[in-house]
Amino acid sequence: MAMANNKTQCFTCKKEKITYPCKGCSKEFCFTDLAEHKRILNDELNYIINNYDQFKQTINEQKQNLQNQALVKQIDQWEINSIEKIQQKAQEYREILIKSSQTFINDIETKFNNLSEQIKQISEENEFNEINLNYLTNQLRKITEELNNPPNIPIKSHSQSFINEISIISTRKPKFNKWKQNAITVAGGNGEGQKLNQLSLPGGIFVDKKKNIFIADLDNHRIVEWKHNAKEGQSIAGTNREGNRMDQLNEPTHVIVNQQNHSIIIADFQNRRVMQWLNQSQQILIQNIDCYGLVIDKHGFLYVSDGKKNEVRRWKMGEYNEGIIVAGGNGKGDQLNQLDCPTFMFVDDDQTVYVSDQNNHRVMKWRKDAKQGRIVAGGNGEGRNSNQLFSPEAVIVDDFGQVYVADHRNHRVMRWCEGKEKGEVVVGGNGSGNQSNQLNGPNGLSFDDEGNLYIADHFNHRIEKFEIIL
């Protein structure tokens, strides 16, 4: 019986042989020429890697020289001419300039790091083709062009009666993002309860890079991790019953993920302690504290709000002594150096602390080492007008200084641009209810990497996702 002829023509040597397809170019190669084809592809990958290394060096060089010297000199001269009146504002302008440059470089670096991870994965798995290489080459070209064409930042002078005030004008204008007004329920939403597809009064939330949601399931006394697109969550801390054993929680209000060791840190509110859980191993980090909100800055410092002492303290990770007061700490009150029941916080790259001052119905901004804060949202008494808040909870600040606030008892999320007297509703604001365009006591807030907005809809026992409109 004759053998079946399964030979085809090799693309390289043009001979009839047993061939193997390349998924990238869809061409057929004999065994010998396939190996050569792979070698050529590998050389091209190494070439791209070298280009990426050079690009990384360029980023690092530019990060070392973020200040535009000519502009800083103009600011310095202006400061000298009006030193007694505008010294503080001059410092703010430098920070805006540096932060604008930092944001630009960080954006480029983030894109570069994401592509570097793809290269690393392709190189390790040794499964790549022309399509992959063309994509990587094009992406490197795009971000190279973006790096070589930074935004133009001129200085604009404003005539005043006593000084010529200046300001920084950047071509990086704030992005006034919008979100779909009808949310998708991504966790809970099956009534109040203890089942793994249910929540009970969810509080603070944390969304990681894989869109997994970590939830402080307050009245279930547990922390739940809800995988992306999962139908139910899994309890990763707590026992569903309140208690003060090491493996128990009592009304946790907030949870964050420590990216350095992938542990979770919990504000164990009624037990008056901050806990760390790592692979089901528990550790008390801070005791005897009326903790509510938590945040870790980029330097690895832990910040905790204390609702009874009306203060925010900062701790160096691993060194939990007394901590350092960074906001409040001057008794309960409504003065600029005081707080009244601080809840959630946000800390930017400069270690500036934004804190929801709940009973004062405002959000305060405390710069590093400042003796008092500044009102950046609310501060006009409780109410539902556009210049008011009512028991604010979670707060997030974007790269443009826009403040997003969970306006808890107004059942809405507000956006405030610093310096403006009024905010605007971004989602909710349709009265308390459980429809897809309504909220009932929004508590925790988080954005994912795409800009989608996640809200802990406290009294509806669900997590809502409002998709960004691109």
Which amino acid is it at 159?
S
Nearest to 377 by CA among 400, 398, 354: 354
* Token pair for 162: 């006593």
In whole angstroms, give the CA distance from residue 61 to residue 69. 15
Other CB atoms within 10 Å distance of the CB of residue 96: 15
Nearest to 42 by CA among 139, 123, 141: 123
Question: Exposure pattern of 169-190 as b/e (b: 16+ CB <10 Å)?
Answer: ebebeeeebebbbebeebbbbb
Question: DSSP letter string over 135-172?
Answer: HHHHHHHHHHHHHHSPPP--EEEEE-SS-EEEEE--S-
Q: Where does residue 44 rank: exposed (0-12), middle (13-18), buried (19+ CB within 10 A)?
A: middle
Contact 271, 250 (CB under 8 A): yes
* Token pair for 125: 């798995």
E strands in 269-397: 273-278, 281-287, 291-296, 301-306, 311-316, 319-328, 342-347, 353-357, 362-366, 374-378, 392-397
Question: Exposure pattern of 437-449 as b/e (b: 16+ CB <10 Å)?
Answer: bbbbbbbbbbebe
Q: What pLDDT score does 374 carry?
A: 94
* Token pair for 43: 């050389």
Q: Where does residue 414 rank: exposed (0-12), middle (13-18), buried (19+ CB within 10 A)?
A: buried
* Token pair for 311: 């203060």
Sheet holding 273-278, edge to edge: 252-258, 263-268, 273-278, 281-287
In whole angstroms, give the CA distance from residue 277 to residue 250. 15
* Token pair for 139: 């992406």
In whole angstroms, give the CA distance from residue 204 to residue 314. 19
In whole angstroms, give the CA distance from residue 415 to residue 41. 49
In whole angstroms, give the CA distance from residue 418 to residue 367. 14
433 CA to centre of own chain? 28
Q: How far is CA 470 from CA 179, 230, 451, in A?
A: 9, 25, 10
Match 């020429």 to its residue by tokens. 33
Other CB atoms within 10 Å distance of the CB of residue 121: 11
Match 């992005």 to its residue by tokens. 175
Nearest to 409 by CA among 431, 424, 387: 431
Tell me how far apart the terminal alpha carbons of the chain are, to the nearest angstrom.
64
Q: What pLDDT score does 258 carry?
A: 85
- Partners of 462 in the β-ladder: 188, 457
Q: What pLDDT score does 396 carry?
A: 97
Q: Is 107 helix (H, G, I), strand (E, B) or coil?
A: helix
User: Cα–Cα–Cα angle for 273, 274, 280, nearest 5°?
Assistant: 110
Residues of the chain with pLDDT under 50: 1-4, 159
Match 């603070």 to its residue by tokens. 204
Q: What pLDDT score does 117 carry?
A: 81
Contact 12, 33 (CB under 8 A): yes
Q: What pLDDT score does 1 carry?
A: 40
Q: Is 44 helix (H, G, I), strand (E, B) or coil?
A: helix
Q: Is 328 left (phi over 0), alpha (psi -120 to 50) or beta?
A: left
Element housing 256 (H / E): strand 252-258
* Token pair for 144: 């190279």
Q: What pLDDT score does 470 carry?
A: 80
